[in-house]
Amino acid sequence: MTDSSMKREENKAQNPGAHLPAVAKHDPKWVSVVGTSRRYNRNLMLVVLLIALAMSLIQVSSVNVALSSIATATGASSTELQWILSGYALAIGVALVPSGRLGDLIGRAELFTAGMVLFTLASTACGLVSHAGVLNVLRVLQGLAAGVFSPQITGIIQQYFRGQARAKAFALFGFVISVSVALGPVMAGVLIQLLGGQTGWRSTFLINLPLGVAGVVAALMWLPFGAERRRRDAGKGSHLVARRIDLDPVGTVLLVLTVVMIMLPFVTRNHPMVWLLLPAALFTGACWILWERRYAARGKDPMVDLRLFTLSSFSYCNAVAALQFLGITSVFALVAIYLQQGLGRSALLAGVIGLPNAAFSAVSSLWSGRYAINYGRGLQVFAVGMMALGVTLAAGAAFMVPQGWSVWWLAVGFGVQGVGQGMMASVNQTQAMLDVPPAQGGVAGGVTQTVQRITTAIGNAMMTGIFFALAAGAGGAAVGAAESVRAWSDAIAVAYLTIGAIMVVCLGVAVAYWRTGRRGGSHQAVTVRAE
């Protein structure tokens, strides 16, 4: 290779896209990656990411409606049924931050695709087995796979989208969250109604096979593989500083142990002694923080750069999201139990009653994306207020069901709640990542989602505990006795009012962020050696 050609190649590595035609360089659809002359279409990249996001979320919400059919088909015990839900949630929570860190270091596209392949295989196997114990194992694998690819979604968006384009991407991110969470129960209810209990629940898993294959093929075609390796190679001998891959194994183990010990008591609740894990989690969590600080002080790259939490946008938005997920995520799990076990209604109704929530959520997430950067803090306050109002209206409707009101009145509250949920899914994600350096997008996304998974587990345990404690002794729903309907209705109403109280606290945090504003920009608070 001549000196001139070597110089051209080096220039391409340091200035990707400089050699492209002017029209292509300024077309927002296209992005260039260090070390390659290929252009990548950001719209197609986003399609791939959102397919995976939808698949993982549908598997959270659809199983709530399918549990009764799974129990009948497999003979699963109550403990096994609990693990069908909790095994998935626990596995995601464990995998998120380590996978986000690994993707930031060795390649997000590679981790994303590997996670998609494993998720597709595990989902297909879930739909074919007939033993509850095997299904539990497969659900854990499914959750681990979702935990591998989920933080890569945030990381890739953070890396290849800027400004309003990033806000639009996160608006579509919120749109898919809103639609998927509501579509899961509807899809499960329709499939069970059409195909019967034995086949219907299996199809809720098997539907991931064609989606997963399409997603993997699209990822291989449209995602920038080898990007992180090329970025490190391009840094050698240039103004960039090459970084040795540092996985921080001690920090990884401490964090995984802490997450497991926090979540396990809330997702299992099988034995009183399991609650002793919580003080143990406080100890390992403190050890993790001390280790990460000392690791960074020695010039190493910690698993999580704790200086991320000096960014007010990141810290406040995570606090708001934690409180939101502590409460709101239990709403549709509770109504599924209430309608099917409490009132003896169909799985289809349990799914369809959430459609107003999905519709309003989808519209509000797309609309709010336009204003997420400039007016995001104010929109968060409005969104949390709408969620608090919506769940309170649903509680009032539940109180009136024994008086002859239709259960469809709950959908009014769900619709109001959906306006706030859609805004939050779009705006909170945009605001949280405003000051995060792109090179840390994966681990930051993993931290955010881990916080959400933990608080979801705690919230589900709290709300179902309140619900079942108040409904205890209500009797079979199908009996239709007025006392039974009253007990079940009062139970869900009180649980919803508890969620409303949590959302009021969340509103206070959102107002604090609105008044405080952004402090500690990424250029000030977090120095990234490989950016």
pLDDT at 526: 45
pLDDT-based confidence at residue 337 (cuts at 50, 70, 90): confident
Of 3-17, 259-273, 278-292, 463-477, least confident by mean pLDDT is 3-17
Residue 17 included in any domain: no
Same domain, yes or no, for 480 and 415? yes
Of 90-104, 225-239, 280-294, least confident by mean pLDDT is 225-239
Same domain, yes or no, for 333 and 259? no
Distance CA 238, CA 234 (A): 7
**496-520 residue pLDDT tens:** 999 999 999 999 999 999 998 876 5
Residue 493 included in any domain: yes
- Helices within 375-409 (DSSP H only): 376-400
Name the domain boundary from 259, 276, 302.
Answer: 302
**300-333 residue pLDDT tens:** 888 888 989 999 999 999 999 999 999 888 898 8
Same domain, yes or no, for 297 and 310? no
Domain range enclosing 264: 248-302
Residue type, 292: E
Same domain, yes or no, for 415 and 484? yes
Same domain, yes or no, for 368 and 354? yes
Same domain, yes or no, for 454 and 516? yes
Residue 26 included in any domain: no
pLDDT at 272: 77
- Domain containing residue 359: CATH number: 1.20.1250.20
Q: Where is 462: in which H helix or E strand? A: helix 441-471
Residue 24 included in any domain: no
pLDDT at 119: 96
Residue 1 included in any domain: no
| Cβ neighbours of residue 114 closer than 8 Å, sequence gap 6 or more | 148, 149
pLDDT at 240: 42
pLDDT at 233: 60
Residue 218 included in any domain: yes
Residue 205 included in any domain: yes
The domain total for the chain is 2
Q: Are 420 and 380 contacting, i.e. CB atoms less than 8 angstroms apart?
A: no
Residue 257 included in any domain: yes
pLDDT at 237: 46
**201-215 residue pLDDT tens:** 899 899 999 999 999
Same domain, yes or no, for 166 and 285? no
Residue carrying structure tokens 């199908």: 478
Same domain, yes or no, for 365 and 230? yes
Same domain, yes or no, for 224 and 265? no
Same domain, yes or no, for 296 and 259? yes
Name the domain boundary from 277, 302, 327.
Answer: 302
pLDDT-based confidence at residue 27 (cuts at 50, 70, 90): low
pLDDT at 265: 86
Same domain, yes or no, for 48 and 181? yes
Distance CA 328, CA 501 (A): 11
Q: Please state whether 196 falls in left (phi above 0), alpha (psi between -120 and 50) or beta.
A: left
Q: Both tokens of residue 297?
A: 């002080």
pLDDT at 269: 63
Q: Please state whether 269 falls in left (phi above 0), alpha (psi between -120 and 50) or beta.
A: left
**Residue 95 pLDDT exceeds 80:** yes
pLDDT at 525: 42
Q: How many helices (H) and strands (E) does the chain have?
A: 21, 2
Name the domain boundary from 302, 317, 340.
Answer: 302
Of 7-11, 49-53, 364-368, least confident by mean pLDDT is 7-11
pLDDT at 25: 52
Give the mean model confidence (pLDDT) for residues 25-43. 75
Residue type, 354: G
**Residue 347 pLDDT exceeds 70:** yes
Same domain, yes or no, for 289 and 313? no
Which of the listed ranges 25-34, 76-85, 115-124 does the model predict with the highest average pLDDT? 115-124
pLDDT at 475: 59
pLDDT-based confidence at residue 392 (cuts at 50, 70, 90): very high
**181-198 residue pLDDT tens:** 777 877 887 888 888 878
